[in-house]
Amino acid sequence: MNDIFLKACRKEKVPYTPVWIMRQAGRYMKEYREIREKVSFISLCKTPDLAAEVTITPVKRLGVDAAILFSDILILAEAMGLDITFTEKDGPFLKNPVRDKSSVDALSIPDPEDKVPFVMETIKILRNNLEGGIPLIGFSGAPFTLASYIVEGGTSRNFTIIKMMMYQNPSLYHTLLDKITKSITLYVSSQIKAGAQAIQLFDTWAGILAPDDYREFALPYTKTIIEEVKGKGVPIILYINGGGGLLELMKEAGPDVISLDWRIDMDNAISRLGKDIALQGNLDPCALFLPPDKIGERVKDILDKAKEAGGHIFNLGHGILPETPVENVIAMVEAVHKFSSKVQHDRRPAP
Amino acid sequence: MNDIFLKACRKEKVPYTPVWIMRQAGRYMKEYREIREKVSFISLCKTPDLAAEVTITPVKRLGVDAAILFSDILILAEAMGLDITFTEKDGPFLKNPVRDKSSVDALSIPDPEDKVPFVMETIKILRNNLEGGIPLIGFSGAPFTLASYIVEGGTSRNFTIIKMMMYQNPSLYHTLLDKITKSITLYVSSQIKAGAQAIQLFDTWAGILAPDDYREFALPYTKTIIEEVKGKGVPIILYINGGGGLLELMKEAGPDVISLDWRIDMDNAISRLGKDIALQGNLDPCALFLPPDKIGERVKDILDKAKEAGGHIFNLGHGILPETPVENVIAMVEAVHKFSSKVQHDRRPAP
């Protein structure tokens, strides 16, 4: 088995830098678009054979070092009792956003085996099919991001509604976040039981919080989940989009790996976070519009800087964009493997 | 005259911390909404008496220490020859975005006195009306942000079109940015000649650039403008939304003041930027949804941290939101003045 990704998460010595891509099963791939012509996004998430197929296609096509479960972070919100519509263009939206005590009280803490069995089934199929191959990453939205969707009712520009709840009704906010945190803990625990070998928590929206607000309204919940899950022997990756101002606080949450977006220099991240944590990232998804040789230069630059990190998993700084040419993605993966064989040779021993 | 704002920009000793608010003339104010019921946004920008009126109303109502010209950063894009529609809900959009050589060539470098005389007229009216009062800030979009609007055709989610131009046709990009930079230099120079006593450059979208891209594709142009304008004796403020990863590069551009968004801790900004530059900011606009006593606590926290800065002008980290209660804004301004009288007493002498 190729366990280089898992080794890098644990800051162990690796022969080259592992790479995978956020949203690697997505619209930029012809194979994915063909399946999506036949089934809706939500049916795809809920049909284990198909979800497993779209998970595996990019693995074969790109030569990445990890697979990530094909699913959506709002699958859990639906399991908590919410009515969600998944649209292609404007993202998901909720018919009845959660904004008062009665709707918070109405949310359930779902038993994943009972409410989202298709997720566990997909994981089991994947583990069988990936046997002898690469590790499988499970995932969930982090508490603040899931709460943002649930309260705002979809994606948001200024996140005024959830911030109003935080500021004007903190006890309601904390009750909601407690429920979400318990639900996520059960959810990722079930994913691990089903076979997920690493977990990524996506706190996609937490970058809109001022650091002191992140500390009060997001960090404690993420930390609770990581503490609960950490004993289960799989590495936890924490991602925040726009988290450049929150790096030190992300580390306080206790993940094995911090996943950086592209808006922070790898050098700067290492100097702030030290060598006792692995880093993931952090090429701008738009850099894949560059010609392949230029992509190689950028890959090399990140790899060179990341030599100083405790461990490094190459990735984009955010999900891959639908307009991305597949051949450029392949060029990126090849460049990571090629240039890091050299880099690894130079890697300084961990302190 | 109350020149405390200008003194703080120059890192001189001040009796209390000056405060103004980005978009302080805006929809959160009843007086503004009443005028907007009668005239469109663009007519308001182009009618000096009315533009001056909405500029002054918040000054009187809030007790801030600086006024900022009421206008829009796309006024300059229009003067360069573009057809822009200003919509209330979705922001401005361009009928014919600039994406090829012929449309870049077709752009003019406008003489501001000739093409936007109403801006200079508004400034003159304001200086007359503010005489003996507070300073007037002029402004422009920074080159990258103006280019983003012009190329994307409006606000954007991922800025893929301008990034594609940067990456795939850098010479076209640089030709465009040269023209924009020359236009902005003339524009702010005219504003200063008409009476603007400080200039803020809004690089609202530059926060979506990776630091190395900011260095290559945005910084040189902003720096050129600052160098050109600096001899004119007015302080220059540089603002980037989401600029937490770019602070050191912002300083390289050479402004007198760096305006921080709310997603970076004031402490962290000071430790990275040092004491030889003034800082502006950086309360989360959403924090104005807190009850007034809690707003006071947050103001005090920022003031306490900013004691270590070379100079400090209080502001929000982004434009004030339309939903903001005016009484909370007044509470914020009062809190800045009240708590900083104490803070200033403690301020350490500049090195």
Query: For chain A, what are the domain ranges?
Result: 19-276
Q: Where are the beta strands (DSSP E) in A53-185?
A: 67-68, 84-87, 91-94, 136-141
Which one has a higher pLDDT value, B193 or B342? B193
* Residue B54, SS3 per DSSP: helix
* Preferred mutation among A89, A159, A265 to probe B, highest tally of B CBs within 10 A: A265
User: What sign does the dihedral B99-B103-B109-B111 (CA atoms) show?
Assistant: negative
Identify which of B80, B76, B70 has the alpha carbon closest to the alpha carbon of residue B41.
Answer: B70
Q: Which residues of A18-56 are buried (b: 16+ CB within 10 A; e: fewer)?
A: bbbbbbbbbebbeebeebbeeeeebebbbbbebbbbbbb
Residues A88-109 pLDDT 10s: 677 889 999 999 999 999 999 9
Of B207, B268, B294, the CB nearest to A263: B207
Q: What is the pTM of this model?
A: 0.95
Cα→Cα distances A96→A72, A306, B35, Å: 19, 44, 35
Asked if B48 contacts B195 with a C-beta cutoff of 8 angstroms, the reply is: no
In the numeric block, which tokens belong to residue A168?
A: 């004007």
In the numeric block, which tokens belong to residue B44?
A: 């308001």
The domain A19-276 having CATH identifier 3.20.20.210: the answer here is yes
Max Cα-Cα span within chain B? 59
Asked if B250 contacts B238 with a C-beta cutoff of 8 angstroms, the reply is: yes
| C-beta neighbour count of A205 within 10 angstroms | 24
Residues A55-75 pLDDT 10s: 999 999 999 999 999 999 999
With CB atoms and an 8 Å threshold, state whether B210 touches A268.
no
Q: Tell me the percentage of chain B whose pLDDT exceeds 70.
A: 97
Asked if B279 contacts B312 with a C-beta cutoff of 8 angstroms, the reply is: yes
Helix (H) or strand (E) holding B163: helix B160-168
Q: Which CATH class is domain B4-346?
A: alpha beta
**Chain B closest CA to A249's CA: distance in Å?**
11
Residues of B with CB under 8 A from a CB of A: 158-160, 163-164, 167-168, 207-213, 242, 244-246, 262-265, 268, 284-287, 289-291, 294, 301, 317, 321, 323
Q: Residue B311 and residue A308: Cα distance in Å, rounded?
A: 35
Q: Residue B39 and residue B42: Cα distance in Å, rounded?
A: 8
> Burial of A289 by CB count in 10 Å (0-12 exposed, 13-18 middle, 19+ buried)?
buried
Of A246, A289, A317, the CB nearest to B167: A289
Catalytic residues of B: 23, 27, 36, 72, 149
In the numeric block, which tokens belong to residue B267?
A: 């402490």
Of A212, A286, A317, the CB nearest to B160: A286
With CB atoms and an 8 Å threshold, state whether B263 touches A160.
no
**Cis amide bond preceding A96, omega within 30:** no
Q: Residue A324 and residue B167: Cα distance in Å, rounded?
A: 13
Tell me: pLDDT of A209 over 80: yes
Mean pLDDT score, A292-298: 96
Catalytic residues of A: 23, 27, 36, 72, 149
Residue contacts between A and B (CB atoms, under 8 Å): 94
Q: Where are the beta strands (DSSP E) in chain B?
A: 67-68, 84-87, 91-94, 136-141, 198-203, 236-240, 257-259, 278-283, 311-316
Q: ipTM value, please give it.
A: 0.92
Q: Confidence class of residue B85 from pLDDT cuts 50, 70 and 90? A: very high
Cα→Cα distances A152→A144, A160, A281, B204, B231, Å: 12, 8, 29, 24, 48
Residues of A with CB under 8 A from a CB of B: 158-160, 163-164, 167-168, 207-213, 242, 244-246, 262-265, 268, 284-287, 289-291, 294, 301, 317, 321, 323
Q: How much is the mean pLDDT over chain A?
A: 95
Q: Residue B212 and residue B224: Cα distance in Å, rounded?
A: 18
